[in-house]
Every structure is written in structure tokens, then in C-alpha cells.
Structure 1
Amino acid sequence: MVASIKPYADELALTDGRMLINGEWVTAESGATWSHTHPATGERVAEFPVAGPADVDLAVRAARRAFDEGPWPHARAGERGRVLRAIADLVRAHGDELLRLQALDNSVPLSFGEIYAVSAEFVADVFEHHAGWADKLAGETLPPFQGGDHMVFTLREPVGVVGAVIPWNAPLPLFAQKVAPALAAGCTIVVKPSEYATFAVLRLARLIAEESGLPAGVLNIVTGPGEPTGDALISHPMVDKLSFTGSRAIGQRVMMAAAVGCKRVSLELGGKSPAVVFADADVGTAAAVTMGTVTLGLSGQVCAAQTRALVHRDALDEFLATAEVIAGMVSYGNPFDPEVTSAPLINTRQLDRVLGLIARGQEEGARLVCGGTREAGDLAVGNFVTPTLFADVSNDMSIAREEIFGPVLSVIPFDDEDEALRLANDTAYGLAATVWTSDIRRAMRLTKAIRAGTVGINGYQLEPNAPFGGFQQSGMGREGGRAAIESYTELKTVLLPLTDEMI
């Protein structure tokens, strides 16, 4: 049986949570709470408030006052940078604690915290990176086009109150990717973490509120599920911009809510990303990396995971053999065990969905190489699915079209470069991709032609200073880099006559 996580909750002094509104830690007005169940053990971890419309209204109004009347939007760039660097230092100082709390949230193994993109160091670097942008948000001076002697220039100003909704799979990195640029730009923000990953975010928010020097009301946290908490936040009339990471279906609801008040919106909505593997590549490495991103760590519950492996027919046998070996290396169990490599699915609803899609793949004619079942024995208490590898997949099958969000890799053969490109782009998504080949000219041809927001060549990684986002139904806008912080600003044009002559 998977060891109990309760001792770790006690060790971390995890108590029933409260929300952060206007610098105060409060319960929900209604008294409603959410009881979080750990996905690896089925144990109750703790409770936190369910914010209703009245609670969300208090949080948004606090953020509104902090923006309209408070010092933060008018703070000097150097001051905003100092606060963000202080947050980065706090993350580094408390990194182990934050990752352990995240393991209580979503059961991502502590061993996976050594991977940079999900590490505390990445979170700190995101804040550090955006701290450097605080004094570089520049407009431009334009030459007069007509009229008398005058100046034309632009200013970048904070967009206002931000409503941010973050998912459960990477709560700390995605908290940073939304909060850091918003604060650096001078915005105020209300954050709703997922009801399945709240405790690490609440702890980080407490550190920020109590030790970074950020004024009260600039950062607010409301907890609870999409209904009622998320719905109240995305529809609130005082919110100027919405930033959402999650499923395509919920992203569409966010867009509809944003349309009512013409809110600015940034969306990252997942993907069905291809790994294109040519016969001249290091096929073993390509197979190990691709299968690893789908099975290790978060068990495929990653938006950028390359879950479609498009493999040249001459490399199929080697690719499948190596991928099957990697699948056999997965170790499930208690996330605090250093030998555990992979997480369970987040809840029983997702467990049923993944098993249903695996069954549909078999019904539609795909060949199951390994996996495809729920883990039995001692692991049956958790939401564990055996690492699953499909061969003989065609791109019109459900397992090749739908974002499964589980440890499932579909291998699709191709014969030449043109077919590989057609298959890679034959999807409603466009978030990420990799091209595996020793021919750099081919790599660049494919990289330019694949419609995806990020393309890796013979590997894939995330960088805190690089834009990340998708084409098509993978969303709009970017997180990371200059593009991210500029999305939290409005651009204002200023016309200044230099004489009494009218422009």
C-alpha cells in the first residue's frame, strides 16, 4: 500500500487554509469549504474556503482600490524590481518547503523537482527575469507625419486589475508566470488556484504578503472550484484582464466572459504536440525523451508534452523498443519517496477519462504495445494508470486528436518529410513540437513550417525569458519574455505641440 501522506502534512504544519483578501487571511463568507483528497492515497489532506461571489467581489474591489488609489501602479520601476527580486529570494529560501506542499497538492514527486522547468529555481528565475523588465517598459518617439512642430510618443501603462486562473499540474511555475509580469507592469491581481492544487500557492502568497514589501491589496488569492469561484472572477466587471491556463473548453468560457466587458485576455489551452523523428536522428534518445515526457514526472499531465510521436518507418522498431523500456522504468507511489518517478492522475474523473480514451484507441484499431490499465495491488488506492504506448496509430483516431492528459503516447508512422509536416500540422492545437534529425537544413525547414508556438530541435525545454504559448486552439498571447509583460500593459499615444500652431 502507498505510504500515508498524513505525516508529511503534519510535518509541514498544514492546517485548514484561508484566503488572502486585501492583506488579510479570511474564511469564506458562507463558511463553505473544499476538502482536498490526495490523488496517490485517497486521503483527505486539508480544507480551504470556497469563495463565493461575495468573497470574490471583496477581493476584486481590494485589487481595484489598490490600483486606483494605492502606490503600486505609481511606484518607481526600481521599487517594483526590488520587490520582485525579494520574492525570488523568498522562493529560493523556501524552495524545499514549497515543493513538498506541491507534492501534497498534486502528488508530483519530489524527485521531479530537480527538473528545471518545475523547480523552485525556475519559479525564482521567473520573478528575477520580470524584475529586470520593470525599468525597461519603454514607449517610443515617432517622427511627426504632418502638421506643425510637435512630438508624437507612446507610453506603456499597467492594464489594471488582473484576474488569473491557474491549473493544478504546475501551480508554482504558472503562479509565477502570471503574477510576476503583472506585478512588474504595475498591475494588481486576484489569483484563483485550482481546487486540486492550493496549498503551495497559499504558502507562497503568505511569504509574499508578509515578507516581500508588496502593499496590501495588490495580490489577492481566492480559493475554490470553477463554480462558483472561477465564474465569479472571470465575469466580474471590475477586472480589466483575464489570464487563464487550462482546458480548451474552459478557455472558451473565459473568452465569452471577457467579451461582455471587452476584457483583455491571455489563454494557454493545451496541445496535441508532435515529436517528428527522422531515421537519421539519434532515435534512441528521441524515444527516451518523448516517452519520458509523457510518463515521468506528471505522467503526461503537461500541456506541452509531445503525445504524438511521428516516426519515420525506418526508425519505428528502434523507437518503439526504446519507448517500451522507458515505460517500464516508471515508479509510482508516495511522492515523498525519492525512488518514485511519476505522479497519479489528479482525480477519479480524469482517471476514468484516460481509461476511456485508451479503450477507444483499441476499438479504433491502434495496437497496444504496453500499459493501458489501472495499476492494481497496493497502488489501486491511487489514480495510477500504467504507462501506455500505442503503435499503428492513424492521425484520425481519437487518441491522436484529443488531449488525453495522461501517460499515453501514440506513435504514427510517416514515409517522407512532406507527410511528416502534413501530419504535424493536422491538429486543432499548436502549442509545441520537436524535430529530431541530424540534418540541420531539414530541421530548420520543419521548424519554420510547423504551426506551433515553441519548436525544439533534438530536444525541448522551457526558459523563463522565452515566450511560451500556442497557435490555433492552443490559445492566444504568450507567457515569459517581453511579450508577456507587454500583455499586462496598455499603449497610450501622446501628442505634444511645441508651438502655438495647431497640429
Structure 2
Amino acid sequence: MTLTVRQHRDDAALKEGLLLVDGQWRQGASTWTHHHPATGEEVGTFAVAGAEDVDAAVRAARRVFDESPWPSMRAGERCRLLRRCSDLLREHADELRALQALDNGVPLSFGTVYAASVDIAADVFDHHAGWIDKAGGDTLPPYQGGDHLAMTFREPVGVVAAILPWNAPFLLFAQKLAPALAAGCTVVLKPSEYATFSVLRMVELLLEAGVPEGVVNVVTGPGDPTGEALITHPMVDKVSFTGSRETGRRIVEASAGTMKRVSLELGGKSPAIVFPDADVGLAGMTTMGMVTLGLSGQACVAHSRALVHRDAYDEFVGAAEMIAGSVTYGDPFDPAVLSSPLINAKQLDRVVGFIERGQQEGARLVTGGGRPDGDLAAGHFVQPTIFADVDNAMTIAQQEIFGPVLSVVPFDDEDDAVRMANDSEYGLGAGLYTSDAKRAFRVARRIRTGTVGINGFNVEPHLPFGGFKESGLGREGGRSAFEAYTELKTVLLPLGDEMI
């Protein structure tokens, strides 16, 4: 039986995706036809925003920020608004998961896992609602001069360009929109062209919750022309982006002209460090599951580089191989399907190229490395792949593959493991597996990475998430994310007749 998502597409009754500018849905300069990554079938079309469309959206956001009551909305009203957004996301969770499956092929089975679910997006809105009435500054004593008050205030940064990736639209939508709205910013949102329909529906829910017209505007389309017009627009005050290093570098360059504030999350080559006193089997299954289940390794924080003590090496590889053999592909609406296709043909070619490079450089292919045939041949599927006997200097141990490929590197002692963990241009996440609490804390402090999970790993709404080195700038999640959408202002007030 030929694999198809046609019935699910028809059941969703997708309309053409339009731009949202100043509260009005409108056509763009052209259109994009999206094809499903598992089947190649046409899913739907959406508008592509040209430079004029982006300009209109940014100007709308600028006008609302500068001239409307939105930035100074009372804390209680803003709290209630964000909580209504949270409630509506939860109420429409099943619908949104189905739209995501049509967008990027992520199976419904993975859409219930907390870190990839609508629930975490709703929790992010709920969490940031709690910061709104705590956006305080300080009152400081005079340091010199006459009698006066010195005070600090947090004010919204202004117009935000929020640019989303395709792999985690629920979480990233919330991590950018919730703190921006909580702070009182206005937003021009650009979803990925490979995950547009689920994002457009979430925006509709924000409007239903009561977000005023022009506060959130949406421009859809690829990086060129849509993204480029957005990041270079002089009226944008801040860019928040999750995606590739190459695009991140371009955003930094484009921000220089007007000193835009920038938050960037740019991926990783995260290590899982496994000591022999750990539950080695669990470590192997968890690590391989992170690289293969759900997103097929297309996650920035996937632990795709396993550094394993030689005494635990064979057991780890065996456990990882068992998970590789249990991964199922196919119809994302089938509850038995556990993982997704790669997002497009370009990414498929990239991953296959890395697998070939790993073999050429002398790594031992334990399992996988090919593509499934039969009903899956039309999709962008790659078999779960494990390379053993990998040198940490090999390409597959250094470059972010963004596919279901695990490189297993042996180490001799703790110092050796830390050295190799830090021998990377990235520094986003890491996993540590050991039963020794002192070692766990000691090694966690030595690794130059933004998040370290000990005997497990998760992303939570109240915790900062981001990276060291080329994994990006700034943090999303928690208080640090809220503050990243504000500017700090100092006010001096004399209390007597003397000058300050």
C-alpha cells in the first residue's frame, strides 16, 4: 500500500496560508507550495512575503508599539491575556499536532512527548505571564551629590523579528512570543516555510485570546526574500532567531547597522559522556533514542556524539543498536510510527553525505547507513545509523549532521572525556551518565556548554536554554528570556533644591 497523507490533508481542510499585517490577512508577493517530507505529496500553499510585505508588517508593529496603549498595558490585564493564550493552546492541542504532522512529518506519537508538545508551549506562556507583575527594577541610595533617588526600570525593547525553525514550532513559537508579549513588545513573526500551517493556527488562537491587532504580524516565506528583508529592516529593534550558524552570522552582520539586539540559538554537536559506573544500557538507549526517535536527530540539542569509557564501550554500543532496530517510520498519523523523515531533499543529501564521509575517514559502521525502500522510498528517510571507533577529530564527530546518526568515541579517563567534550566549535548541551554525584557535579562544571543533564535531559519552561561558543547568543526560557526583551532604564529624581 502506497504511503499517503492525502486523507489527513483533506480532513484538515487547509486554506491557503496568508500574511497577517496590522490585523488583516492578505496575499503576498507570490506563493510557495509545500510538499510532505514523508510522501512528496502537495500539502498546501502559502503566501511568500516580499520586501514590500515585510515593510508593511514592520511598520504596523512600529506604529502599534509607538502609538498604542499596548506597551503600557496594566500588569493584571496582560497576565490574564497570556493565560488565555495558554488555555487556548491546550484546548487545540490535538488539532495543532495534526497540523504539525502535515507540516514537517513529526509523528503524532512524538507530539505527546512533553518537550515537543503543545503542553510545553502552553506552559511557556503561563510561566511568562508570571513575570509580568515582577518586571521591577531597583531603588538605589545616592552615591554622591545632593539628596536624590536613583531608580531603574525595565521597558520593552520595541519591535521584535521572531524567526522560527521548522523542527520545533510549538516550543519555539512560545519561547519567542511569550516573553516578547509579556514585556510589551510588538512582533513580526516568520515561521519556517517547512512548518507554516501549525504556526498560522497558533497565531489565530492568540488573536482569539485577545491580542490586539498589529501586536503580532506574520510574514511567511523562505530566507530569501522574506527573512533577509526582515532582519535588515531599520525599524526592527531586536531579532530572535533559531536555526543555522550561517544564518546566525548573517543576522549579526545585518544587526550592526542599527545596533539591533540579537538572540541566537544556532545548534550544537552535543556530547553524551558515559562513565562505567553508570547504568550503561540506559545511557545507550537514551542517547540513541534522542538521536533517532521523534525528529530523526533533527534537533539542535540531540546528543549525537557519545563519549564512552572503554570499559563501558561494548555495552553502550549494543544498547544503542537495540534502539536503532526498534525505530519505525511511515505515516505520521499512525500511532505505531515513532520517527519522522528528514525535512527535505537537501537535508537528505547532506545526511547521506556525512554517512559516506564517516566511512571514508575510517569509522566503523555498526548499523544503518542506508535508506529504506518500498512504501518509504518516496520519503526523505534514512535508517538509524551508528558509527563506532570514531576519532573525535573526524568530520562526523565535529559537524552537526542533523540526522539519525550517532558517533561513538572511546575515552580513557575523566580528563580525556572533558577535553574531547570541549573540543568542539559548539557548546549547546551535554549529557552526563554516572552514579558518582561528586564526579557528576565536577564534570558538569568543567564542560563549556549551556545545559548539562545528569542521567537524563529535558527542556523546561522556567530554565534558561542556550549555548556557549558558536551555539549562539543569549538564552531562551526563564527570567533571562523575559529580560532579553526589555531595556534597562535609569531615572534620577532630586528630592531637594540642590542639583544632583
TM-score (structure 2 length as normaliser): 0.99
Q: Distance in 2 between matches of 1:118 and 1:79?
A: 29
Q: What is residue 419 of structure 2 aligned with on the other side?
A: 422
Pairing 1:65-76 to 2, within 5 Å after superposition: 65-76=63-74
Q: What is residue 60 of structure 1 aligned with on the other side?
A: 58
Q: Deviations over 1:209-249 (max 9, x none)?
A: 1x111110000110000000000000000000000000011
The code of the aligned residue for 1:141 comes to T
Q: What is residue 247 of structure 1 aligned with on the other side?
A: 244
Q: Secondary structure at the match of 2:202?
A: helix
Pairing 1:195-234 to 2, within 5 Å after superposition: 195-209=193-207, 211-234=208-231
Aligned match for 1:472, one of 469, 474, 486: 469
Aligned match for 1:344, one of 341, 346, 353: 341
Q: Distance in 2 between matches of 1:119 and 1:180?
A: 16
Q: What is residue 449 of structure 1 aligned with on the other side?
A: 446
The code of the aligned residue for 1:7 comes to Q
Is this contact kept in 2: 1:388–1:409, CA < 8 A? yes
Q: What is residue 392 of structure 2 aligned with on the other side?
A: 395
- Comparing 13-22 and 118-127, the one that deviates more: 13-22
Pairing 1:163-312 to 2, within 5 Å after superposition: 163-209=161-207, 211-312=208-309
* TM-superposed deviation, 1:95: 0.5
* TM-superposed deviation, 1:120: 1.0
Q: Distance in 1 between matches of 2:371 and 2:57?
A: 41
* TM-superposed deviation, 1:378: 1.4
Q: What is residue 10 of structure 1 aligned with on the other side?
A: 10
Q: What is residue 330 of structure 1 aligned with on the other side?
A: 327
Q: Distance in 2 between matches of 1:419 and 1:277?
A: 12
Is this contact kept in 2: 1:2–1:333, CA < 8 A? no
The code of the aligned residue for 1:27 comes to Q
Q: Distance in 2 between matches of 1:124 and 1:385?
A: 32
- Percent sequence identity is 67
Q: Deviations over 1:276-324 (max 9, x none)?
A: 0000000000000000000000000000100100000000110000100
Pairing 1:341-380 to 2, within 5 Å after superposition: 341-380=338-377
Q: What is residue 126 of structure 1 aligned with on the other side?
A: 124
The code of the aligned residue for 2:422 comes to N
Is this contact kept in 2: 1:100–1:110, CA < 8 A? yes
Q: Distance in 1 between matches of 2:252 and 2:97?
A: 32
Q: Secondary structure at the match of 2:95?
A: helix
Is this contact kept in 2: 1:393–1:400, CA < 8 A? yes
Q: Deviations over 1:411-438 (max 9, x none)?
A: 0000000000000000000000011000
The code of the aligned residue for 1:3 comes to L
Q: Distance in 1 between matches of 2:12 and 2:305?
A: 39
Is this contact kept in 1: 2:160–2:186, CA < 8 A? yes
* TM-superposed deviation, 1:70: 1.2
Q: Deviations over 1:235-282 (max 9, x none)?
A: 000000000000011100011111111000000000000000000000
Q: Distance in 1 between matches of 2:17 and 2:105?
A: 19
Return 5+ residue gaps in structure 1 as ranges: none
Aligned match for 1:50, one of 37, 45, 48: 48
Q: Distance in 1 between matches of 2:350 and 2:179?
A: 35
Q: Distance in 2 between matches of 1:71 and 1:494?
A: 22
Q: What is residue 89 of structure 1 aligned with on the other side?
A: 87
Q: Distance in 1 between matches of 2:26 and 2:170?
A: 22
* TM-superposed deviation, 1:13: 1.3
* TM-superposed deviation, 1:142: 1.2
Q: Distance in 2 between matches of 1:302 and 1:33?
A: 28
* TM-superposed deviation, 1:9: 1.3
The code of the aligned residue for 1:161 comes to V
- Comparing 292-301 and 10-19, the one that deviates more: 10-19
* TM-superposed deviation, 1:57: 0.4
Query: Cα distance 1:2–1:442, how it changes in 2: closer, same or farther (>3 A)?
Result: farther
Is this contact kept in 1: 2:3–2:375, CA < 8 A? no
Is this contact kept in 2: 1:391–1:412, CA < 8 A? yes
The code of the aligned residue for 1:8 comes to H
Q: Secondary structure at the match of 2:106?
A: coil
Q: Distance in 2 between matches of 1:91 and 1:372?
A: 39
Q: Secondary structure at the match of 2:239?
A: strand
* TM-superposed deviation, 1:375: 1.6
Is this contact kept in 2: 1:2–1:40, CA < 8 A? no
Q: Secondary structure at the match of 1:214?
A: coil
Q: Indicate the RMSD between aligned Cα atoms, in angstroms.
A: 0.7
Q: What is residue 437 of structure 2 aligned with on the other side?
A: 440
Q: Distance in 2 between matches of 1:377 and 1:13?
A: 29
Is this contact kept in 2: 1:2–1:381, CA < 8 A? no
Q: What is residue 497 of structure 1 aligned with on the other side?
A: 494
Is this contact kept in 2: 1:295–1:330, CA < 8 A? yes
TM-score (structure 1 length as normaliser): 0.99
Q: Does 1:111 align with 2:109?
A: yes
Q: Does 1:460 align with 2:457?
A: yes
Pairing 1:17-32 to 2, within 5 Å after superposition: 17-28=17-28, 30=29, 32=30
Is this contact kept in 2: 1:2–1:334, CA < 8 A? no
Q: Distance in 2 between matches of 1:290 and 1:440?
A: 20
* TM-superposed deviation, 1:351: 0.1
Q: Distance in 1 between matches of 2:314 and 2:447?
A: 25
Return 5+ residue gaps in structure 2 as ranges: none
Q: How many residues align?
A: 500
Is this contact kept in 2: 1:144–1:152, CA < 8 A? yes
Q: Distance in 1 between matches of 2:8 and 2:188?
A: 29
* TM-superposed deviation, 1:2: 4.9
Aligned match for 1:408, one of 396, 405, 408: 405
Is this contact kept in 1: 2:3–2:376, CA < 8 A? no
* TM-superposed deviation, 1:206: 1.1
Q: Distance in 2 between matches of 1:178 and 1:437?
A: 34
Q: Distance in 2 between matches of 1:174 and 1:161?
A: 18
The code of the aligned residue for 1:201 comes to V
Q: Secondary structure at the match of 1:411?
A: strand
* TM-superposed deviation, 1:3: 2.8
Q: Distance in 1 between matches of 2:68 and 2:279?
A: 56
